[in-house]
Amino acid sequence: MWRRSCLIVTVVMALTSRVTASPESGDVNLDYVIKRAEERARHPFHSPRADLPKVLRQDNLDYDKYRQIRFRRNQALWRVENLPFRIEFFHPGYLYQEPVHVYEFTATHLQPIRFVQDFFDYGSLNIQDEIPANTGYAGFRVLYQLNETNQWDELGAFLGASYFRLLGKDQNYGQSARGLALDCGEMDRPEEFPIFTDWWLGKPEADDKELTLFALLDSVSCTGAYQFVIHPGVTTTADVEAVLFFREPKDILEANPQKRLPVKPSGWRR
């Protein structure tokens, strides 16, 4: 069961083996992601769909072909170190046409988690030569010993647009949540689906009972910086803090002039 225990939103107007790179020094926190979201909001939206290799697009990779691609469980992030959480990645393609870039961080270092074909079993497909090395992932699932001490269960998944879902002990998936929904049910314009384009995964310590993730959201109308702190248990909870930067006025701001804010992450919170 997913339950949001804390959500703080700041809305801001913007005027205008494992293959990794060498670790960089850096302090990854919400402010770190806010700066990147604010900078991106000053430029037009670039759809990650344009970066998806042709062989992975829906007209080339249908449902049956996509199902053949499976993540090799022995390649899960943090498995070798026997940490309390593990990460498995989803392959891009078919319905999942926005490649996502993923990074791992600790208290002192940051490094990208590069796309690695050897993480996946492609079944009878012979498409590996057509997939560039810099292709991102579609998303990821989080594993945790939620129900049994010697069994790794799916705790949650972040896949497609800004959708995510989490599980509590002895539960099955129900309705998904979204990082942001825009123009739902409007009669004069289609709904907008913001997407998580970049993720920063906090490497846990051996005795950690919670997992911290950061995400950068992007859309035609806005960008956003998100922090998720996931607490597994009988009732799994997620503390979520989000800061939004709008590229242009939305109805909520036009209808509430007192909520117009300067171009910096401060002001309206709820």
What residues form DSSP beta bridges with 256? none
Is 60 exceeded by the pLDDT of residue 25?
no
Q: Say yes or no to pLDDT of 10 above 60.
A: no
- Are the beta carbons of 246 and 221 closer than 8 angstroms? yes
Examine the pLDDT at 180 and tell me if it is beyond 50. yes
Burial track 174-205 (b if 16+ CB lie within 10 A, e otherwise): eeeeebbebeeeeeeeeebbbbbbbbbbbbbe
The answer for 161, left when phi > 0, alpha when psi is -120 to 50, beta otherwise, is left
241 pLDDT more than 50: yes
Backbone angles phi and psi of 119, in degrees to 5:
-70, -15
Question: Which pLDDT score, from 0 to 100, does residue 26 have?
Answer: 65
Convert the pLDDT of each residue in 122-135 to its tens digit.
Answer: 999 999 999 998 89
Q: Which of 95, 119, 111, 105 is nearest to 17 (CA)?
A: 119
> What is the pLDDT at residue 189?
84
Residue predicted with more confidence, 258 or 161: 161
Mean local confidence (pLDDT), 83-104: 97
Query: Quick one: average pLDDT of 225-237?
Result: 97
Is 3-259 a CATH 3.50.50.60 domain?
no
Q: Give 270: exposed, middle or buried? Use CB within 10 Å, 0-12, 13-18, 19+.
A: exposed
Quote the CA–CA distance of 17 and 19 in Å, as a whole number. Answer: 6
Look up residue 249 and give its two tokens.
């006025």
| Percent of the chain predicted with pLDDT > 90 | 73
pLDDT digits (tens, 9 = 90+) for 107-153: 999 999 999 999 999 999 999 999 998 899 999 999 999 998 789 99
pLDDT at 38: 96
**What average pLDDT does the chain have?**
86
pLDDT in tens, 51-70: 999 999 999 999 999 999 99
Distance CA 257, CA 152 (A): 49
